[in-house]
Amino acid sequence: MNKLLITIVAVSTLIFGTTAFALTLDEAKANIDKQATEKKLDARDHSQATATLHSLVEKGVPVEHAYRVVEASMDQGMKGKDLAAVARSIEAAGGAKKEAAEVAAQAIQHKYTARETERMTNTYGKTVAAGAPADKTSQVMSGGINKGVGAGRIMAATNAYAGEIRSGTAPDKAAENAERTMDRERTMQHDPDRTRDRDHMGGDSGMDHGMDHGPGMGSGAGTGTGGSRR
């Protein structure tokens, strides 16, 4: 019986990157306190990390997902005020807060700036609120993030995907088209650094294709963690 339990835990660890046992809020806070000490965070950033964890959980984000966002922010040296802005974009995602937290954590882990992360998370929440499926929207955005596509191009592809769904295209097909577009643009760029640089300098033209996000898009604080992914 014990061997079976150990096997189940080991398989879960390989698949999910964690054990099969859910992380409690107290455990997550203890981990944050430990990392804050190890990384020598100042008191304000440490306090904000803890406050963000509690706020996200109170707003309905599972502890594991909230912790991943905070953990990633600490790993990348994100300032407390920027983490707070990212958290607000997650909390604005309505019924898709868990998936929004996943997108945000991935973006931070892949070294997108806080500002880019906030804007992509806002785009995610507003796309889902407009009727796009949460899982397919997450698939589109996570695919772009994992491939290092510029934030502006990810948002443009996500908006185009939402527009296709509104026009009657099946979500699976719309997601496939968005991913293919990002792959094609990525392949055409011989200098990936220049691709990201152009996005940072305002290469977000086409960002509003497919849906009208309205005022307030990208509101928040900070210029990010201090640099692009590459």
Does residue 104 share a domain with residue 148? no
**Residue 39: inside a domain:** yes
Does residue 185 share a domain with residue 150? yes
Q: Give the total number of structural domains in the chain.
A: 2
Above 70 in pLDDT, residue 202? no
Confidence band for 196, pLDDT divided at 50, 70 and 90 = low
Does residue 106 share a domain with residue 35? yes
For 143, the token pair is 């695919």
Contact 183, 153 (CB under 8 A): no
**Residue 196: inside a domain:** yes
Residues 100-132 pLDDT 10s: 999 999 999 999 999 999 999 999 999 999 999
Above 70 in pLDDT, residue 33? yes
Does residue 134 share a domain with residue 109? no
Q: What is the mean pLDDT of residues 190-215?
A: 44
For 54, the token pair is 């509690």
pLDDT at 189: 62
pLDDT at 63: 97
Does residue 32 share a domain with residue 85? yes
**Residue 87: inside a domain:** yes
Q: How far is residue 27's CA from residue 6's CA, in Å, rounded to a whole number?
A: 21
Does residue 152 share a domain with residue 99? no
CA angle centred on 102, ends 98 and 103, rounded to 5°: 120
Q: How far is residue 171's CA from residue 165's CA, in Å, rounded to a whole number?
A: 6
**Residue 176: inside a domain:** yes
Above 60 in pLDDT, residue 218? no
Above 60 in pLDDT, residue 40? yes
**Residue 151: inside a domain:** yes
pLDDT at 186: 77
Residues 52-62 pLDDT 10s: 999 999 999 99
pLDDT at 22: 84
Does residue 106 share a domain with residue 28? yes
**Residue 47: inside a domain:** yes
Above 90 in pLDDT, residue 222? no
**Residue 79: inside a domain:** yes
Confidence band for 51, pLDDT divided at 50, 70 and 90 = very high
Q: Which of 94-98, 106-110, 176-180, 216-220 has the lowest mean pLDDT?
A: 216-220
Does residue 103 share a domain with residue 47? yes
Say if residue 152 is exposed, middle or buried (CB neighbours under 10 Å; 0-12, 13-18, 19+): buried
**Domain range for 106:** 24-114
**Residue 181: inside a domain:** yes
Say if residue 81 is exposed, middle or buried (CB neighbours under 10 Å; 0-12, 13-18, 19+): middle
Does residue 90 share a domain with residue 42? yes
Does residue 137 share a domain with residue 63? no
Residues 73-88 pLDDT 10s: 999 999 999 999 999 9
Nearest to 201 by CA among 130, 151, 159, 146: 151
Q: Give the largest Cα separation in the chain, rounded.
A: 59
Q: Whole-number mean pLDDT of the chain?
A: 81
Does residue 48 share a domain with residue 94? yes
Does residue 198 share a domain with residue 142? yes
Q: What DSSP assignment string belongs to the chain?
A: -HHHHHHHHHHHHHHHSS-SSPPPHHHHHHHHHHHHHHHT--HHHHHHHHHHHHHHHHTT--HHHHHHHHHHHHHTT--HHHHHHHHHHHHTTGGGHHHHHHHHHHHHHTT--HHHHHHHHHHHHHHHHTT--HHHHHHHHHHHHHTT--HHHHHHHHHHHHHHHHTT--HHHHHHHHHHHHHHHHHH-S-HHHHHHHHHTT--TTTTTT----TTTT--S---SSS---
